[in-house]
Amino acid sequence: MSVRVVVVDDNELLRAGLVTVLTSDPDIEVVGQAADGPAGVRACREHRPDLVLMDVEMPGGDGIVATRRIVTDLPDVRVLILTMFDLDDYVVEALRAGAAGFLLKTTPPRDLIRSVRQCAAGETTVGPTVMARLVDSYVGHQEPPPPGLAELTGRELDVLRCLADGRSNAEIAGELFLAETTVKTHVARILAKLGVRDRVQAVVIAHRCGLARG
């Protein structure tokens, strides 16, 4: 299945490089580009992509505000944040704005393509050091774990632990001897019971509750 992408970055050279890498994959189509947040929002409204690669700091309008607007107005569009450093304070802010994942600008081309495909498919796109930053920022600063945690079945808890360990759907299926479609169903139920928007937030809850095995 083709993944339609909008690339938003004020650095023209980097933006061109991202486009070149992405279009080297026959299943990824770059349908729009923008040099700042407001233009990125307009590009998303015009092209309705599956995913946006969004820079954070841009002179013409920051990516956090743009992410919040895109997630609110176009909930089917996933936003993958581009950051320069894995300890960037913007990471936590972007998660709260509705970002679906985080990617370092130093990510190798092959990993960039894989991350874009995974994020577009609804999987978590967060490196271990970035996740550690998120967990540190959220532990002790949020309300107690949601009541829905107690509603998870044993199998759903197994899947949540795998999510917290950074496993993809395919890896979870292999570890738990399940069909990948079954894993997707479990993940959807976990998100619904926990009352969270995406896998990243579910993973943060899992870490905060001590469910991560790492």
Does residue 120 sit in the same domain as residue 168?
no
0.75 surpassed by pTM: no
Question: What is the predicted pLDDT for the residue at 109?
Answer: 92
Choosing from 63, 95, 127, the residue where a domain stops is 127
Question: What is the predicted pLDDT for the residue at 90?
Answer: 72
What single letter denotes the amino acid at residue 16?
A: A
Tens of pLDDT, residue by residue over 59-83, are 877 889 999 999 999 989 999 988 7
Does residue 7 sit in the same domain as residue 113?
yes
Across 83-100, average pLDDT: 74
**To which residue do tokens 């990471």 refer?**
91
* C-alpha span between 204 and 101 (Å, rounded): 13
Question: What is the predicted pLDDT for the residue at 103?
Answer: 82
192 to 46, 94, 172, 195, 197: CA distances (angstroms): 30, 22, 19, 5, 8
Tens of pLDDT, residue by residue over 6-43, are 999 999 999 999 999 999 999 999 999 999 999 999 99
Residue 183, judged by CB atoms within 10 A of its CB (0-12, 13-18, 19+), counts as buried
Of 193, 170, 45, which Cα lies nearest the Cα of 114?
170
Does residue 117 sit in the same domain as residue 194?
no
Tens of pLDDT, residue by residue over 102-153, are 888 888 999 899 889 988 888 766 655 566 666 666 555 555 677 889 899 9
Total domain count for the chain?
A: 2
* C-alpha span between 153 and 98 (Å, rounded): 27
Does residue 10 sit in the same domain as residue 109?
yes
Does residue 9 sit in the same domain as residue 106?
yes
Question: What is the predicted pLDDT for the residue at 127?
Answer: 59
Range of 77's domain? 3-127
The CATH number for 26's domain is 3.40.50.2300
Does residue 10 sit in the same domain as residue 56?
yes
Choosing from 127, 149, 174, the residue where a domain stops is 127
8: in domain: yes
Does residue 48 sit in the same domain as residue 91?
yes
Question: What is the predicted pLDDT for the residue at 43?
Answer: 96
Across 195-199, average pLDDT: 82
Please provide the DSSP assignment of 7-37 as one string: EE-S-HHHHHHHHHHHHTSTTEEEEEEESSH
The CATH number for 181's domain is 1.10.10.10
